[in-house]
Amino acid sequence: MTGAGRDVVVLDYGFGNVRSAVRALERAGARVELTADRTRAMGADGLVVPGVGAFAACVEGIRAVRGHEVIGRRLAGGRPVLGICVGLQVMFEHGVEHGVHSEGLGEWPGTVERLQAPVVPHMGWNTVEVPEGSRLFAGIEDERFYFVHSYGVREWVLETKGRTRPPTVTWAEYSGDRFVAAVENGPLAATQFHPEKSGDAGAALLRNWVQSLS
């Protein structure tokens, strides 16, 4: 199975390194459109939610183009969504920046908070701890990926209690502090790192995601 012919929309809401993401997805074999159009975003085989900057501002931008409605409707229908960097963070319930608490999109329980490291941001290449069964990291489990962030999710709190398949959660560590590096949860997947800046490993991850689209 290949990603050829898969239509992907990168949600254009004013935040994120969108051009590099578009080019990387095109190289992964997708037909890519950068738009905030809700009809196009709903109809695409895959939706990518990028994000750079502050948690609260990104959530506000997504809500301004009613992107939260598109994300919710897609996920309810089992339609794939991929978040990148702050695009991962906004999927959680809460964000805390400079003492200010903000509401996220609430697709996952949990809080985005400042990394407990002597120096932030965490910037550069890092390894990740990939659990068995990951489709996103298939063939690249031992590779390094490029991170740029000061905040992260330091505790995974979602419990399925056997009712549904548990999410696949990938972790990373910076200066002794562990944080969520990626999540695969049915149609919703997200990475804290930037696959579009992660060389061959990031390109392989995007190919894995594009090839999973139906």
Instruction: Say if residues 136 and 208 touch (Cβ distance below 8 Å).
Output: yes
The SS3 of residue 163 is coil
Options 85, 107, 122, 184, the catalytic residue: 85
Q: What is the number of other CB atoms lying within 10 angstroms of the CB of residue 209?
A: 25
Instruction: Say if residues 42 and 36 touch (Cβ distance below 8 Å).
Output: no
Options 68, 122, 149, 194, the catalytic residue: 194
**Any catalytic annotation for residue 107?**
no
**Any catalytic annotation for residue 85?**
yes
DSSP 85-125: THHHHTTEEEEEETTEEEE---SEEEEEEE--SSS-SEEEE
What's the distance, CA 90 to chain centroid?
Answer: 9
CA-wise closest residue to 32 among 14, 11, 2, 63? 11
Residues labelled catalytic: 85, 194, 196
